[in-house]
Structure 1
Amino acid sequence: MEVSAQTSDLEQIQSWKDEVNVTRESLRSMRSHLEEIAPNKKDEDSLAQVEHFQNQFIRQMEVADEMHHDLKQSAKKISNNGQSLIIHDDRPVDDVDVMLDRMQTFRKLYNELQEEFKGFSAFS
């Protein structure tokens, strides 16, 4: 029974890693699109929005990188049957339920950023 739960957790973590990779690629695409439309933005409000999105893309990419790293560590811990000690005071990786909660937050923040950027870039 332990093996199937372990396999299921590993499959879930791999799915999340794939999702994080897709998100990273999407962020790169949005950043590229922002670079294309930024020269057309001349007014002060638009320039502030461009800077806002630049900062948000940087931060979201940092979070995505952290998530990817932590998911790899979580998979490693599960694969080793909990024998390796992995400690992140600020980012626990040893509990699949905690990682699920983090993924849900990651998705929510990414989706909000994506929708906000769609609204901004639609007026380009």
Structure 2
Amino acid sequence: METAVIFNSDLHFEHKQWRRELFFWEDELKSFQKRLDELVKRWTDKNMLAQLEHYQNQFMIQEEVINEFHDEIFLHETNIAAHYKKGEDVLNEDLVKKHIEFRNHMEVQRNMYTNLKKEFYKFLSEYM
């Protein structure tokens, strides 16, 4: 069985991609919040306001998750930098496993976020 070698630069590259994606999500959430603010001004129906509150809560949860992901990436990058300073370009198995777990979490979050966006767009098409 062949052992794969994973270099710090490979993980760093993936971190950069994830950060760009997270920043994009943050920008989108700001835009979604503006849409919610517009709808709050237009609607007084309690059911509608409850739906708006639901989306506002969902967006706040997404912001928290994004912040946690930023923190996790920062910690991993700090670890990579420490290895680099020691002249170690290859990470140990535990760190690579953590990276793969994080990759899986990103994929799950990406799917959840995409579904929330679809649901919100459908909602907007009905009420904007």
TM-score by length of 2: 0.80
Give the structure with the higher percent helix: 2
Gaps of 5+ in 1: 84-93
Alpha-carbon distance in 1 for matches of 2:113, 2:46: 26
Local SS of the residue matching 1:122: helix
- Counterpart pick for 2:108 among 96, 102, 105: 105
In structure 2, the partner of 1:31 is 33
Paired residue for 1:59, among 39, 56, 61? 61
Distance 1:98 1:82 in 2: 22
Question: What is the deviation of 1:57?
Answer: 0.8
Q: Which has the higher contact order (CA 8 A, sep 6+)?
A: 2
User: Is residue 74 of structure 2 the alignment partner of residue 72 of structure 1?
Assistant: yes
Q: CA RMSD in A?
A: 2.2
Looking at structure 2, the residues matched to 116 and 41 of structure 1 have their Cα atoms a distance apart, in angstroms, of 19
Aligned residue pairs, count: 114
Among the aligned pairs, what percent are the same residue?
26
Work out which of the two has the higher radius of gyration on C-alpha atoms and give 1 or 2.
2
Q: Show structure 1 runs of 4+ deviating over 3 A.
A: none
Amino acid at match of 1:70: E
Consecutive unaligned residues in structure 2, runs of 5 or more: 86-94
Distance 1:47 1:32 in 2: 15
1:13-51 deviation line (CA, Å, top 9, x unaligned): 111011111111111110111111222223232111001
| Alpha-carbon shift at residue 66 of structure 1 (Å) | 0.7
- Residue 92 of structure 2 corresponds to which residue in structure 1? none
1:121 partnered with 2:128: no
Asked if 1:45 corresponds to 2:44, the answer is no
